[in-house]
Amino acid sequence: MSYSPLVPCILQLNHSFLVPPVSRMRRMSVFPQHGTALGTLGLTANEIRQEVENKTSELVSDLVNLSAGGRFQAIRSLPMSFNERKTIRNRVNSVKLSKTILRADCRQQVSRSFRRFRANLASARQHLVVWQDTLKEIGGRFGTSVLSYFLFLKWLLKFNLFSLLINFCFITIPQIVHAPNISSVTEFRGLELLTGVGYFNQTVLFYGGYNGEVIVSTPAYNMQLAYFFTIAAYLVLCGVSLIYSMSRSFQNNFVLETGPVSGGAWRLLCSWDFSVVNEKAIQYNKNNLGIQLKESLSERLQEKNKTSLSDRIKRLSLHLLAWLLSLGLALGSGAGIYFLGTDQLQTFNYDHDPNDLKAEASTLLLPVVVSLINLIVPLLYSLISKMESYSNPRAQIYISIIRNVVLKMSLLGILCFYWLNFVPNRISCWESFVGQSVYRLLIIDFIFCLLGIFFGEFLRNVIGTMCIQSLGVPEFDIARNVLDLIYAQTLAWIGIYFSPLLPVMQVFKLFIIFYLKKISLSMNCQPPKHTGRAAQIQTVFIALLFFPSFVGTLSMVAFTVWSLQPSDQCGPFQGLDTPFYAIFNWIDSIQDPPESKWVWWIFENVLRSELFYYLISLIILVITFFLWQITQGRKQLIKTLREEIVNEGKDKVFLLNKLQTIQKQRREMASYIPQDFDQTPHFNTNWMNTLPFDM
């Protein structure tokens, strides 16, 4: 009887990775290496079969001790046919099932269960993500540029949810549970939802609803420290998050316009948004891509066609006039708000009769005027930009963004100056007044946003599709909508110190705006024709949110805490020179106990030392300089690599031309040869017969 075909495979297999060192050494001592046949050793067929069976059993036992993944890879790598590997696998499975105690299987079952649990948990997390399916639908219908607006809105919602959570847990709940600060209760009439006064005057919605008492508990809870550190921690975390997001977005997504992505080849081959699946949206994207290609070609033609000196002077004069008009509108709007606010402050009585609805409704005049300015002046800016007739649509978009940012930030700057310089001297609980003013601005801005969705998008769509069809379907203005979000978020940050629960209104507002904008976008709007790359747009949004929005808000809150005297009749810091004196009082109280003396030493010798901040600033400048040098080096490297790519292309062109020349010469030489002949020498075996007879 001949032995099985497994014999040569088993004998020649060097599976040292499967077995322990002892078995490996035993196997090496029995069999010679390099696949030497057993027949040359003088073994009989039975002995060979017995030895092969022993080796197969050892192989099966070694495979049984491996993990499931290792066993699968080992069987798969065996130098055998499929049927032979299948036989080995069946024997391994039978051995595994025959064992009474299967500890390895138990571990594998537990591991498999944990893997399934993690997969199910990850899937559940994906389903729990807010608006995930909705955002995919928006991206599929309108592209990533429009999607960037909704992602930005969702990002702002996370900020406000975090602010609401920490303020409510560390400030509001202790105040409500342990020390409610309510001296009188006013009947709720409904107008307070718009004005914020009346019933809300002494509630925890505003600064005046909190006091600075130390709540008796174990340990004691100081409301002054809780109020100060909660607001400070939130602003610090917001700043760190903004800086991190801005740097990551710039690093990963922002592409310099001087790079290769500004050419027509990139637009034609690489700019298609593959997330779009809706047929109507695909047609919109085709039309927009055609428009962008035409604009890119026209820009190149304009660069080649040098304009005359008179035309350039005319264009510069037109741009200068447009900027003067834009800045004049912004300054005039700011001056009007300033005079309106001071005049209203002189006639307004903070302690008016709660039943006087006329006096309460008059407080809505200033926020209505501010919202009207934010609505009308950007339309005038659009007319001015049409008068300029920019050749580059991207430049027109960014200039429009800059002008609108200047307008909105100038209005907020005038309001902050008015609140911090005039209000504290004329109103007893001026912090609550500022909080109520910010509340009114936020509510009226929300109402105007709803009106803009109805009149600016719905009626415009009806008119463009039914009455005046030449107008067409309105475009979704990404820049204007994002600037509205930045303006509202700036108001929420300004009011966080004066109204700790103001994020409630901002969260409510963002939720409603998200769904209304989604519905209006689906029914009334089309994607914008002129837009930059979505990565660039998102980076610009985050940069504008950081500066001037967050930096300006941080400056105002810091000035309020360090320089202004708090109200004597309301709030947690009443009786102090400045709110920051609460920290001084706390440091003085922990100076005597030995276990907390190190905190006092750090505060006195580090935090209050100018040298510490000088060193921190110096370290930041040095790190910034090194990062700038690294960036410049990478830019130079990129430039060098691009030059090498160009040179490589020239070398390839040269070699191809040389190859074509050589091939052409060979074809010409071949055309002159009449026929092929063999030049190989041959030996004639009958050479004797070729000799002459007379030799």
Residue 68 Cα distances to 73, 75, 89, 105, 125, angstroms: 9, 11, 12, 9, 29
Distance CA 405, CA 320 (A): 18
Summarize pLDDT for 59-74 with one digit per residue, the tens. Answer: 888 887 787 778 878 8
Q: Alpha-carbon distance 95 to 78, whole Å?
A: 19
CA 229 to chain centre: 28
Return d(Cα 250, Cα 234) in angstroms, integer.
24
pLDDT in tens, 508-529: 999 999 999 999 888 888 777 6
Q: Flag whether pLDDT at 534 surpasses 60.
A: no
Query: Cα(first)–Cα(last) distance of the chain, in Å?
Result: 77
Mean pLDDT computed over 149-154: 90
Kindly report whether the peptide bond that precedes residue 500 is cis, defined as omega within 30 degrees of 0: no
Dig out the tokens for 392 from the structure: 């580059």
Share of the chain above pLDDT 90, in %: 26
Residue 499 to residue 502: CA distance in whole angstroms? 5
Among 79-88, 183-192, 407-416, the range with the most confident prediction by mean pLDDT is 407-416
Residue 492 CB contacts under 8 Å (≥ 6 apart), including other chains: 160, 163, 442, 502, 503, 505, 506
Judge contact between 96 and 30, C-beta under 8 A.
no
Distance CA 671, CA 664 (A): 11
Identify the H or E element spanning 96: helix 82-98
Reduce the DSSP state of residue 222 to 3 states and report it.
Answer: strand
Q: Where does the pLDDT of residue 431 fall: very low under 50, low under 70, confident under 90, or very high at 90 and above?
A: very high
Residue partners of 108: CB distance under 8 A and separation at least 6: 67, 68
Between residues 155 and 51, the one the model is more confident about: 155
| DSSP letter, residue 38 | G
CB 399 within 8 A of CB 386: no
Q: How far apart are CA 515 and CA 496, in angstroms?
A: 25
Mean pLDDT of the chain: 79
Residue type for 645, please?
I
Spatial separation of the C-alpha atoms in residues 369 and 414, rounded to whole Å? 14
Q: What number is the average pLDDT over the span 91-110?
A: 65
142 within 8 A of 521, measured Cβ to Cβ: yes
Select the more confidently predicted residue: 407 or 689.
407
CB 285 within 8 A of CB 276: yes
Task: Report whether 517 contacts 481 (CB < 8 A).
Answer: yes
Quick one: tokens of 678?
């063999």
Query: What is the widest separation between alpha-carbon atoms in the chain?
Result: 155
573 burial class (0-12, 13-18, 19+ CB within 10 angstroms)?
Answer: buried
**pLDDT (0 to 100) of residue 492:** 95
130 alpha carbon, distance to own chain's centre: 15
Q: Are 293 and 269 in contact (CB under 8 A)?
A: no
User: How is residue 564 written in tokens?
Assistant: 């202004």
Give the pLDDT confidence of 249-260 residue by residue, as tens digits. Answer: 877 665 444 444
CB 377 within 8 A of CB 355: no
pLDDT digits (tens, 9 = 90+) for 546-602: 989 999 999 999 999 999 999 988 889 988 999 999 988 888 887 777 777 787 788
- Report DSSP state, residue 218: S
Range in 23-27, 77-81, 385-389, 507-511 the model is least confident about: 23-27
Summarize pLDDT for 192-232 with one digit per residue, the tens.
Answer: 888 888 788 878 899 988 988 887 777 788 889 999 999 99
For residue 691, name the pLDDT band (cuts at 50, 70, 90).
very low
Interatomic CA distance for residues 65 and 56, integer angstroms:
14
Q: Which residues contact 308 (CB under 8 A, 6 or more apart)?
A: none
Enter the DSSP assignment of 579.
T
> Which residues, in sequence order, are bridge partners of residue 530?
none
pLDDT of 32 strictly over 50: no
- 197-204 long-range contacts (CB < 8 A, ≥24 apart) are 197/360, 197/363, 197/436, 198/354, 198/360, 200/436, 201/432, 204/172, 204/175, 204/176, 204/500, 204/501
pLDDT of residue 267: 62
pLDDT (mean) for 490-513: 94
Q: 267 near 292, Cβ under 8 Å?
A: yes
Which three-class secondary structure state does DSSP give residue 456? helix
Spatial contact of 222 and 214, defined as CB atoms under 8 Å apart: yes
Predicted local distance difference test score (pLDDT) of residue 108: 66
- Residue 323 CB neighbours (<10 A): 15
Distance in angstroms (rounded) separating the CA atoms of residues 216 and 194: 37
CB 337 within 8 A of CB 414: yes
What does the block give as tokens for 10?
């088993």
| Whole-number pLDDT of residue 14 | 41
Best mean pLDDT range from 55-64, 91-100, 393-402, 486-495: 486-495
Q: How far apart are CA 116 and CA 226, in angstroms?
A: 44
Q: How confident is the model at residue 184 (pLDDT cuts 50, 70, 90)?
A: low
CA–CA gap between residue 565 and residue 555 (Å, rounded): 16
Phi then psi for 366, rounded to 5 degrees? -65, -50
Secondary structure (3-state) at 55: helix
Q: Which residue has the higher pLDDT, 195 or 354?
A: 195
